[in-house]
Amino acid sequence: MSIKIAVIGANPANVEEIENVVVESLAGGIEIETATIDSFRHLTDADLYVCLVNRQEQMEEVFGSEKVVALEFVPPVEYFLALSKIPAGTPVLVINNSIAGTRVLMEHLRKYDLMHLDYDVVAYDEMEPATIAHKIASAAFITGGSSYVGPGKDLYKKFGPYLAKDTTILVSPPRIATPSSISRLCQAYSRLQHDAVLDELKRLASIDYLTQIPNRRTCDEVLCREWNRARREQTTLSIAMLDLDFFKHYNDHYGHTAGDECLQSIAATINSALRRPADFCARYGGEEFVVILPNTDSDGAIKVLEAMRQ
């Protein structure tokens, strides 16, 4: 009973960030699929979709609010303390690969009253190279996430030649998910686990343990429903009872294990002969089986039963 979780992020680094929180926060029994924001629409069968808060509305429009959990990430406190020590009015260049990414960081800066600095923005996947080069070359302070301005990342690989030697780089360490968003994730997961257990219990209560086809209780429910439907719609309904000849002798002679295997084989044969979604079979008890064929007259039922016998 594994829970399928789809992790959707703005880019591979963001996906990894979210996935780490999911793995660390939840117990076993999960299957994780990942995608970036430009390739997520194939993830249609997940039980839960986990994204960032800035993508929550978009994900809810696609998958429904009941299936989406949005995580909020914040940089560690030490990072904000370092920014607070920079004199008011100092120009600081914020670097990310997208405008959406810079907005997330700017929201945190506003939240922690760090707007005393003169921020400018570089979204290097969405801006002209000449503009990027000019801004980086003239920057005294540069800040951004470790995935963008950390050692060996894009700031150095793509724009290293433009960096001034005395530029101060303030790297935001890997962000941490807020306790409230982790709580939402865990609660959603717990609900899914609870629902999965209930569904499995209902399934187990409706099938015969040995043959894995519906049991007598389910048969009675289906028979009542189909009988009422046939009367209401004035349609035919065929019901057949199958009783295995000489099964007791077979069971006594070859043993209970062979008898069980015989019942399993018979159940599989009966079930495989049913072609329509509404056709139904069940183990009624012992070596007795029931077949219910809606919208089927006696001639049609005989053909189905002969196919089973063959």
- Could you tell me the residue ranges of all domains in the chain? 3-71+178-201, 77-176, 207-309
pLDDT for 18 equals 93
Whether the pLDDT of residue 148 is over 80: the answer is: yes
| 186 Cβ contact partners less than 8 Å away, ≥ 6 residues apart | 25, 26
Q: Please give the helix or strand (H or E) that residue 272 lies within, else none.
A: helix 256-273
**3 state DSSP class of 149:** helix
pLDDT confidence of 108, banded at 50, 70, 90?
confident
In sequence order, the 6+-apart residues with CB closer than 8 A to the CB of 123 are 96, 97, 98, 99, 101, 102
**Alpha carbons 139 and 95: distance in angstroms, whole number:** 11
**77-176 and 207-309 share one fold:** no
The pTM assigned to this predicted structure is 0.60
What would the CATH number be for the domain defined by 3-71+178-201?
3.40.50.2300
Instruction: Identify the residue whose tokens are 């800040």.
Output: 143
Among 60, 79, 78, 80, smallest CA distance to 70 is for 60
Residue 89 has pLDDT above 80, yes or no: yes
Q: CA-to-CA distance for 150 and 152, rounded, in angstroms? A: 6
Token pair recorded at residue 152 = 């060996």
Q: How far apart are CA 270 and CA 60, in angstroms?
A: 44
| Fold of the domain built from segment(s) 77-176 | Rossmann fold (3.40.50)
Strand order, beta sheet including 237-243: 237-243, 288-294, 280-285
Top-confidence residue, 287 or 14: 287
* Cβ–Cβ < 8 Å for 142, 168: yes
In whole angstroms, give the CA distance from residue 156 to residue 95. 12
* Residue range 12-36, pLDDT digits in tens: 888 988 999 999 999 778 999 999 9
C-alpha span between 119 and 92 (Å, rounded): 5
Cα–Cα distance for residue pair 187/169, rounded to 1 Å: 39
Amino acid of residue 199: D
pLDDT 10s digits, 172-220? 887 889 999 999 999 999 999 999 889 889 888 999 999 999 999 999 9
CATH architecture of 207-309: 2-Layer Sandwich (3.30)
Give 146's pLDDT tier (boundaries 50, 70, 90): confident
Distance CA 44, CA 268 (A): 32
- pLDDT at residue number 107: 87
Q: Are 50 and 184 in contact (CB under 8 A)?
A: no
* Structure confidence at residue 1 as a pLDDT band (50, 70, 90): low
Q: What is the pLDDT of residue 249?
A: 92
Strands of the sheet containing 3-9, edge to edge, are 30-36, 3-9, 48-52, 68-71
Query: Using CA atoms, how far apart are residues 301 and 250, in angstroms rounded to an integer?
Result: 28
In the DSSP assignment, the letter for residue 35 is E
- Residue 52, pLDDT > 80, answer yes
113-129 mean pLDDT: 94
pLDDT tens for 151-163 read 999 999 999 999 9
Residue found under tokens 């920079």: 86
Average pLDDT, integer, range 75-83: 87
CB 204 within 8 A of CB 184: no
Which of 144, 140, 107 lies closest to 122 in space, CA to CA? 144
DSSP label at 72?
-
CB 262 within 8 A of CB 287: no
